[in-house]
Amino acid sequence: MKTDVLLKELEFKATRSSGAGGQHVNKVSTKIIVRLHIDNSQGFTLEEKQRLRSKLVSRISNEGYLQLSCDASRNQHRNKNLAIQRLLDMLKAALVREKVRKSTKPSRASIQKRLDSKKKQSQRKENRRNPDF
């Protein structure tokens, strides 16, 4: 992932934020919407694009845009920086490869320990029974 290339490819749109805030909310466009077209991006390799498409399938639109909005702050510049940071964090998390699980079998000592504990528990329960005359 080439971060400097991605930052140039981002598309920004400022809209009015929702929620409480009185007249200020109705006058100022502080909410930021960031869009990135995954397929047309030069910042990813083909393998990375495929991984992003599979991991972020619910966040990518039919046109191929990954969209993220931020209205946490009342400041447009702060919201823009937050949105960029969130988008980059999301992309980095989606590109991380999961470790392949290597199947292992229990050691001989652990198997013996388990069987011994089962025998001990069986003896305990057998000792609780009424004697059979």
Q: What is the pLDDT of residues 80-116, one digit of tens each?
A: 999 999 999 999 999 998 899 999 999 999 999 999 9
Could you tell me if residue 105 is inside a domain? Answer: no
The pair of three-digit structure tokens given for residue 45, joined into one six-digit string: 């390799």
Asked whether residue 75 is domain-assigned, the answer is yes
At residue 27, the pLDDT reads 81
- Note whether 23 and 2 are within 8 A (CB): no
Give the chain's mean pLDDT.
90
Record the pTM. 0.71
pLDDT band at 23 (very low <50, low <70, confident <90, very high): confident
Whether 124 is in a domain gets the answer: no
Residue 81, domain member (yes or no): yes
User: Residue 33's domain spans which residues?
Assistant: 3-95
Q: How many CB atoms lie within 10 A of CB 67?
A: 15
Coil, helix or strand for 119?
Answer: helix
pLDDT > 90? residue 73:
no
Share above pLDDT 70 across residues of the chain, in percent, rounded to a whole number: 97
State the CATH number of the domain containing residue 22.
3.30.160.20
* Total tally of structural domains belonging to the chain: 1
Task: Kindly give the residue spans of alpha helices, DSSP state H, lying in 28-107.
Answer: 46-55, 76-95
| Higher local confidence (pLDDT), 59 or 17 | 59
Q: Is residue 26 part of a domain?
A: yes
